[in-house]
Structure 1
Amino acid sequence: MNPAQLQAAERRLEGFLGALVPLLGRVERQTQAGLYVRGLLLDGARKSIEPMVARLPGADVQALRQFVNQSPWEWAPVQAALTGLMLDRLLPEAVLIIDETSFPKQGDQSVGVARQYCGALGKTANCQVAVSVHLGTDRACLPLTWGLFLPESWITDADRRTAARIPETVTYQTKGELAVAALDRVRAWGVGPRVVLADAGYGTSHEFRAALSARGHPYCVQVAPSVKGWSEAPAPTGPPPYAGRGRPRRRVSRADLPEPLALDEIAATLPAEAWRTVTWRQGTKGALRSRFAQTSLWPSHRWTTTRALPTAPVTLLIEWPRGANAPTHYWLADLPGEALGLRRAVRLAKGRWRIEQDYRELKDELGLDHFEGRSWPGWHHHVTLASMAYAFLVLETVRGKKNS
């Protein structure tokens, strides 16, 4: 926003902040929070503290730096209040979208930094990686909460933990576990069970899908083609007849079942009439459409891990664009109580596009990746304040559409 736009929206911004910043406690913190959010909203090439202060009348570098890096305010209550505010005002029908984003870094002191896959650069590099949960619809999408991934090298290094002020209660969690913990947080903040969308980095894990089901979350998640299952309910032939020697075998073994197929193998068995062209939304260059097929799948993972046969199928959705040599994407969907039609399944599967827009705008417009602090509290303070700024922009955008 340029200064004139921010000035025109000042009354609305004051009301928006007034619902959130009292949770920070001291009046000085509330003042600094307002300055920080305004600094993120104002146009500028860099959104680190010194460039923001140069654009903010009355701001002080040391005061703003102390507020975001050292002040002991808790970020979770602010994220909870922001979640409730946006849920009430804007997105009662939204889905929950899980993804991760990376922050390339120099040096080894920023909390969580390590050589790992960096999506922002498309290669292994020195970076931080964060998992986030977003509330999204066709109209809008915004982050609710964040989890910073800490590699095991950080968890076991007492000196680095102390320097970065990582709480003793923080233990190693995979990215999937961070995502589930984030879902648990937003559930505690009043976001009831909703359809969860995620890419194959999360959806391929049967532990992740089982955690969603255990929490009552319907889901539509992308999976790798190597996932295996049966396209018909597996019917064991049963143990062989007793031969009269030794103990009779009573448990069903893997040999008593038909061999499960990988999803790409199942796709190859579908008849031509199973494939239909579906348009899921209008893009900037016209209608977005592709060919899809939908069938039932009994995943085999529970058999290999617990020797329990699947009792109910999930929906397997496959995308095979015209002209492609093979299917390009696979999703598993489990929406208990809903007869999932193909068009609805496709719209859900393709619903993750907005989270990429969130990350892009948060970084390009609001400086999500411009934070120069190194501590655990500082990082969480920054992403919380950036989420506040982004939520305000979402409200302004929706308001503008309503008035146009």
Structure 2
Amino acid sequence: MNDTRLNVLLIGSGGREHALAWKLAQSPRLKRLFAAPGNPGIAEYALLCALDADNHAGIVDFCRREAIDLVVVGPEAPLVAGLADALSDAGIAVFGPSKAAAALEGSKGFTKDLCTEARIPTAAYQRFTEAAPARDYVRAMGAPIVVKADGIAAGKGVVVAETLDEAIAAIDACFDGAFGDAGAEVVIEECLVGEEASFFAIADGKTAIAFGAAQDHKRAFDGDTGPNTGGMGAYSPAPVMTEAMIERVMAEIIRPTVATMAARGTPFQGVLFAGLMITAKGPELIEYNVRFGDPECQVLMMRMTSDLLDLLLAAAEGRLEGEMPCFRDAAALTVVMAAKGYPGSYKKGTPIGSLAAAQAVPGAEVFQAGTAITPAGLVSAGGRVLNVSACGATLREARDCAYEAVAAIDWPEGFCRSDIGWRALG
């Protein structure tokens, strides 16, 4: 094995990036880790840099100056904007898809059309650029029905409408600008029935390998009630994703996607995060993301035993064939602590204490997602603020450990769900 030590730049500032930094820092091949912009938790493992992800030339210059061997792009927006293209064009290895390949997340309509072309199982759909025909379509189809803003909307552009009034309100919200440019086109789909799962694969443009599965909790409150969020917790492994189901997903969804993208001349390299519905007929694709999920990344990193840096570099360099990530049999669970009011309006700058006590709980890790350091100490700086994560021999052990760590944190302005993992435990 090549034992050259590597300089790595990690792009992003959330809990996903904190988990990636934590895992990358464990690699014996890591020389120096930089993060842009990072957060106070990431600063324990990386040198934080005030780089703007929109300034591609500035990032390329930084990589040349610091002899960066690999750039790992955490969030989707820089990928959809073409950051990976700028780095590749400059001869810098990057883990993450090109702008053309990132359309798998950047446009839900693009992905649905690819599913039609590649015969990938997914919900029946129609695409609309005007409100009136979209309203007519939902009236003809009836409810429940799913209304999606076509572009990226921070996980908030999807409405599972139980009534026609809800569906029409969602269509009007999109075309009235609630999601900006992301809502200029709307995708309307049949409502699939089954159990949701998050499945991850790593691809190098031609080869794809399974990376693991998790289940996310999107609703804000206990019992899967309240508004949709970016994710209030997750656990891994997902019981519904058996070995046989994983192979079906690879054969029916992931490999056809990678093959079709390659045949189109827009090979996909990076993470394929498939949001799935496991129906009576089998797995169906709800949507793709082109980066690690947040908070699913946190539980996958907690369980991973092999070298993340080696794997990401192999994908970036097109040599994934024969690679196989390793995970412990243990379960992992993460609880998101959010600012009161999220996903609506919430206060920033509220003090957070006793993180050290939470970190001291055996088996627990606290990944920071929306935090800042002030002279007075650590404060909140976002909606989803902390990801309290834990491993255990069983999911129940992991859950109990995570909630013990939650209880140790002193943050009166925060809240969390008390039932993460309830489906699997029930």
TM range (shorter): under 0.3
Larger radius of gyration: 1
Normalised by the size of structure 1, how large is the TM-score?
Answer: 0.26
Looking at secondary structure, tell me which structure has more strand per residue. Answer: 2
Normalised by the size of structure 2, how large is the TM-score?
Answer: 0.25
Pick 1 or 2: higher relative contact order, CA cutoff 8 A, min separation 6. 1
